[in-house]
C-alpha cells in the first residue's frame, strides 16, 4: 500500500502523530507527477516551489504542536478555472495563457484556511466546454487506465491526476456532468454538490445557473471530508445558499436500512450492457444491505440534453463577452480599430468548441429566436425539475449509471459535437435541476471503469454520501489502480 | 428552422468573432444539426409552465453598503496587455 492508497483522514493522523512529514508527502506527489505526468498530461501549471516551502513551514508547525486545519498538509490539485492569486490560471485557453490572478477564489481561500497544499493547476476542456478534455488549448489529458482513451471532460485533468496517484485529491467543476463523467471514466469518486452549496466566487463562469465546484477523490469518505472544508455560504457569491452545513463524515454510518431508492428506467435504456449489468449488481448489493429499490420513470429525461445545450451555450455566450483583449488576456497584434481588436483577439484567443458554443448561444438569445429556444428550454427545465421533485416525494435517493458508455478513444468523437454532447445524457438532468449527485466506481468493462451515480434531494448530500459509502465498504472496485 | 451561411455571418458579427470560410461552413452545418436536435423540445406542450431561471428560489440579495478597500492601480494593471499613464490603452476610437 502506498501513501496514495490511504484515506485522507489516515494521512492526516499520520502527520499529526509525526509518522510522516508534510515535506515527504509533498515530495511524493511531485515524484509521481515527474514520473507520470508526461504520459497523462493532467497538470498545466505546477506550484512546486511554494508547495515545498509551505510544507517546510507546516513541518515546523507540527514540531510546535499547534492546532491543525481540517486538510492540514494534504496536497491538492485544482482545475485551472479556479482563480489562484499569483499562480497562472488559464482555463486551458490561449486567451488566458498569460493570466496572473490578483486574488484567490473562495474555494482556494477555504483550502488554504484548512491548510491544504496546492500542488498545481489541472488541465481541462477550454473554459470547461467539452466531454473529453480534447478541447484544451495546450494538450489533451490521457486516461490512466488506457492512454489511448479520453479521461472525460471537462474536469479530465482533475480525475486523471487522482486516478494516476499524482494528487491526493482534486477539485473540479460540474456544469452538465464535468465532475461525474470524468470521475466515472477514470474510476474515482466525484461529487457535484447542490447548486449554491459551494461558492462560485473566483470560478471562471461558463454557465452561471449550472456551474458548481466539487471534489474528486479516491473514496467516499475523502469526498465527505473535502466537501466539509469547501461548503458554506459566501457573501461574495449572490447565488450562494444560506443553509446549515452538517457534519458529512458523521453521516457515514454504514446503516442504509430502509432507504428508498428509485431507479429511473430511462437511465437504463441505451446504456452499454456491461454497464447495465454492473448497475443491477450494485442494486442487488444495496438491497442486501437493507435498502429497497423500485423502478420509476423520469419522463422528461430525453429532452434534457437539448435544453441543456441551449441554456449552457446562451449563458456561456454572455459570460464570455467579457473577454475582449483590453483589461486582461492575450490581445491580438495589429488591430486597426477598437472593434477589430475585439474581433481579432476573440477569434485568435478562443478554440473551436468555445466558438461553436458562443455562436449557438448568441443565436439562441438573438432577436426573434429567444422565445423559441432559450425560453422554451427554461420551461422544459421546469418539467425536468418536477420529475425529480415528484420522485423525491416517495424516495430518498435516485440511483443509476453515470455514463452510457465507458471512456471512448481519443479523437473518435471530436468532429461530431452532437454525439459528444450525448455522452452527458445521464448527468445533465441533475445539473438542470440543481440536485447533488455522486459517482463511485462500480465495476469494469474491458478493463475500463464504470461509474454508479447517486442523486439526492437538494442539500441532502449526507444521504447520498451514506448510501455510496455503504456500497463502497462492501465492494472493492474503488481499490483497483491503473498500472502505470 | 434552418440556418444559412448569412445567418452564421450575422451571429458571428454579434458575437464579435471573425470566422474563416472553413469555420463558417463548418458552423453552418454543425449549428443546423444541433438546432435540428433542439427541435425535439417542441414535442412538449409548455403552455402555462413557468421557466426556471434559477434552481434556488432566491430573491434579491442585499448587503449593507460598507466601504471596503478597492484594488490598487498596480493590481488592476497587472494583466493589462497595454497600459499608459494609468489607463488601458486601445486603438484610437475617434478619427
- Count CB atoms within 10 A of the CB of residue B93: 8
Q: Could you confirm whether A236 is annotated as catalytic? A: no
Residue B39 falls inside a structural domain: yes
Mind listing the pLDDT tens digit for each residue in A304-355?
999 999 999 999 999 999 999 999 999 998 788 999 999 999 999 999 999 9
Residue B10 falls inside a structural domain: yes
Please tell me the number of Cα atoms within 13 Å of A309 on its side-chain side.
Answer: 32
User: Residue A94 has what DSSP assignment?
Assistant: G
Residue B24 falls inside a structural domain: yes
Number of domains into which chain B is organized: 1
b (16+ CB within 10 A) / e for A190-222: bbbbbbbbbbbbbbbbbbbbbbbbbbbbbbbbb
Q: Residues A118, A138, A79, CA angle at the centre, nearest 5°?
A: 30
CA distance A305 to chain B (A): 9
Contact A83, A202 (CB under 8 A): yes
Distances (CA, A) of A89 to A48, A81, A228, A348: 15, 7, 25, 18
List, in order of start, the domains of chain A with CATH numbers.
3-257+436-479 (3.90.1300.10)
The pLDDT score that the predictor gives to residue B1 is: 58
Measure the CA–CA gap between B92 and A198, rounded to whole angstroms: 43
Give the CATH number of the domain where residue B9 resides: 1.10.20.60
Radius of gyration over alpha carbons of chain A, in Å? 21
Mind listing the pLDDT tens digit for each residue in A22-71?
999 999 999 999 999 999 999 999 999 999 999 999 999 999 888 999 99
Residue B31 has pLDDT above 70, yes or no: yes
Q: Could you confirm whether A278 is annotated as catalytic? A: no
- Count CB atoms within 10 A of the CB of residue A116: 27
- Count CB atoms within 10 A of the CB of residue B69: 5
Beta-bridged to residue A78, according to DSSP, are A121, A171
Average of per-residue pLDDT across A374-385: 97
- Structure-block grid coordinates of residue A339: 472593434
Residue B78 falls inside a structural domain: no
Residue B23 falls inside a structural domain: yes
Residue A1 has pLDDT above 70, yes or no: no
Residue A421 has pLDDT above 90, yes or no: no
Q: In terms of DSSP bridges, do strands A260-264 and A117-122 run parallel, antiparallel, or are they unpaired?
A: unpaired
Q: Residue A296 — pLDDT band, cuts 50, 70, 90?
A: very high
Average of per-residue pLDDT across A155-175: 98
Measure the CA–CA gap between B68 and A390, rounded to whole angstroms: 45
| Residue of B1, B10, B16 to mutate, interface with A, max A Cβ within 10 Å | B16
Catalytic residue (choose from A109, A132, A154, A462): A154
Distances (CA, A) of A441 to A226, A242, A284, A293, A459: 18, 32, 16, 19, 23
Average of per-residue pLDDT across A187-194: 98
**Domain residue limits at B27:** 5-43
Residue A216 has pLDDT above 90, yes or no: yes
User: Residue A274 has what DSSP assignment?
Assistant: H
Strand, coil or helix: A381:
helix
Residue B90 falls inside a structural domain: no
Chain A residues with CB inside 8 Å of B42's CB?
376
Strand, coil or helix: B86:
coil
Residue B25 has pLDDT above 70, yes or no: yes
Chain B residues with CB inside 8 Å of A341's CB?
90-91
Mind listing the pLDDT tens digit for each residue in A119-150?
999 999 999 999 999 999 999 999 999 999 99
The more confident residue out of A415 and A137 is: A137
Q: Residue A204 — pLDDT band, cuts 50, 70, 90?
A: very high
The pLDDT score that the predictor gives to residue A420 is: 80
Nearest to A358 among B15, B91, B92 (CB): B15
Mind listing the pLDDT tens digit for each residue in A237-276?
999 999 999 999 999 999 999 999 999 999 999 899 999 9
Residue A439 has pLDDT above 90, yes or no: yes
The pLDDT score that the predictor gives to residue B94 is: 82
Task: Kindly report which listed range (A384-398, A417-431, B49-63) carries the lowest average pLDDT score.
Answer: B49-63
Average of per-residue pLDDT across A99-123: 98
Measure the CA–CA gap between A134 and A152, rounded to whole angstroms: 9
User: Residue A203 has what DSSP assignment?
Assistant: B
The pLDDT score that the predictor gives to residue A333 is: 87
Residue B88 falls inside a structural domain: no
Q: What are phi and psi of A43, to 5 degrees?
A: -100, 145
Residue B20 falls inside a structural domain: yes
Contact B42 A376 (CB under 8 A): yes
Measure the CA–CA gap between A387 and A382, rounded to whole angstroms: 9
Distances (CA, A) of A197 to A181, A201, A214, A248, A464: 20, 12, 10, 13, 15
The more confident residue out of B95 and A256 is: A256
Measure the CA–CA gap between A411 and A160, rounded to whole angstroms: 18
Amino acid at each position: 500500500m502506498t501513501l496514495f492508497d490511504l484515506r485522507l483522514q489516515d494521512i492526516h493522523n499520520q502527520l499529526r502523530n509525526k509518522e510522516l512529514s508534510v515535506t515527504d508527502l509533498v515530495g511524493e506527489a511531485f515524484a509521481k507527477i515527474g514520473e507520470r505526468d508526461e504520459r497523462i498530461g493532467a497538470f498545466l501549471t505546477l506550484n512546486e516551489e511554494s508547495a515545498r516551502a509551505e510544507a517546510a513551514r507546516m513541518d515546523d508547525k507540527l514540531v510546535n504542536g499547534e492546532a491543525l486545519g481540517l486538510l492540514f498538509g494534504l496536497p491538492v490539485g485544482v482545475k485551472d478555472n479556479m482563480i489562484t492569486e499569483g499562480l497562472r490560471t488559464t482555463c486551458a485557453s490561449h486567451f488566458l495563457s498569460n493570466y496572473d490572478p490578483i486574488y484567490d477564489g473562495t474555494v482556494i481561500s477555504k483550502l488554504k484556511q484548512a491548510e491544504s497544499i496546492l500542488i498545481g493547476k489541472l488541465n481541462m476542456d477550454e473554459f470547461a466546454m467539452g466531454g473529453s478534455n480534447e478541447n484544451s488549448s495546450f494538450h489533451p489529458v490521457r486516461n490512466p487506465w488506457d492512454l489511448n482513451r479520453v479521461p472525460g471532460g471537462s474536469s479530465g485533468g482533475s480525475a486523471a491526476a487522482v486516478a494516476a496517484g499524482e494528487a491526493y485529491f482534486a477539485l473540479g467543476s460540474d456544469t452538465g456532468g464535468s465532475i461525474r463523467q470524468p470521475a466515472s471514466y477514470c474510476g474515482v469518486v466525484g461529487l457535484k454538490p447542490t447548486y449554491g452549496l459551494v461558492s462560485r466566487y473566483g470560478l471562471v463562469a461558463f454557465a452561471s445557473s449550472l456551474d458548481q465546484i466539487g471534489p474528486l477523490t479516491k473514496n467516499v469518505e475523502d469526498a465527505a471530508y473535502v466537501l466539509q472544508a469547501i461548503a458554506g455560504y459566501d457573501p461574495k457569491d449572490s447565488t450562494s445558499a444560506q443553509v446549515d452545513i452538517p457534519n458529512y463524515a458523521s453521516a457515514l454510518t454504514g446503516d442504509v436500512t430502509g432507504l428508498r431508492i428509485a431507479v429511473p428506467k430511462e437511465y437504463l435504456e441505451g446504456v452499454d450492457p456491461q454497464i447495465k449489468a454492473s448497475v443491477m449488481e450494485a442494486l442487488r448489493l444495496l438491497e442486501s444491505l437493507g435498502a429497497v429499490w423500485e423502478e420509476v420513470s423520469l419522463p422528461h429525461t430525453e429532452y434534457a440534453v437539448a435544453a441543456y445545450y441551449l441554456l449552457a451555450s446562451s449563458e456561456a455566450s454572455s459570460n464570455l463577452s467579457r473577454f475582449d483583449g483590453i483589461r486582461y488576456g492575450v490581445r491580438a497584434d495589429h488591430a486597426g480599430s477598437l472593434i477589430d481588436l475585439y474581433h481579432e483577439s476573440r477569434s485568435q484567443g478562443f478554440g473551436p468548441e468555445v466558438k461553436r458554443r458562443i455562436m449557438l448561444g448568441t443565436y439562441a438569445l438573438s432577436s426573434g429566436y429567444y422565445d423559441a429556444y432559450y425560453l422554451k428550454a427554461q420551461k422544459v427545465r421546469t418539467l425536468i425539475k418536477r420529475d425529480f421533485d415528484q420522485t423525491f416525494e416517495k424516495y430518498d435517493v435516485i440511483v443509476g449509471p453515470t455514463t452510457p458508455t465507458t471512456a471512448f478513444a481519443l479523437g473518435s468523437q471530436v468532429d461530431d459535437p452532437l454525439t459528444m454532447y450525448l455522452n452527458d445524457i445521464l448527468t445533465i438532468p441533475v445539473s438542470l435541476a440543481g440536485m447533488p449527485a455522486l459517482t463511485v466506481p462500480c465495476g469494469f468493462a474491458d478493463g475500463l471503469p464504470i461509474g454508479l451515480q447517486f442523486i439526492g434531494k437538494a442539500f441532502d448530500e449526507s444521504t447520498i454520501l451514506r448510501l455510496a459509502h455503504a456500497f463502497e465498504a462492501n465492494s472493492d472496485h474503488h481499490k483497483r489502480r491503473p498500472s502505470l | 428552422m434552418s440556418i444559412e451561411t448569412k445567418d452564421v455571418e450575422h451571429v458571428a458579427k454579434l458575437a464579435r468573432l471573425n470566422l474563416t470560410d472553413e469555420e463558417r461552413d463548418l458552423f453552418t452545418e454543425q449549428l443546423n444539426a444541433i438546432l435540428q436536435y433542439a427541435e425535439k423540445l417542441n414535442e412538449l406542450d409548455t403552455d402555462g409552465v413557468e421557466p426556471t431561471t434559477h434552481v434556488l428560489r432566491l430573491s434579491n440579495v442585499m448587503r449593507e453598503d460598507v466601504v471596503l478597500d478597492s484594488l490598487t492601480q498596480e493590481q488592476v494593471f497587472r494583466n493589462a496587455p497595454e497600459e499608459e499613464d494609468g489607463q488601458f490603452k486601445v486603438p484610437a476610437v475617434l478619427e
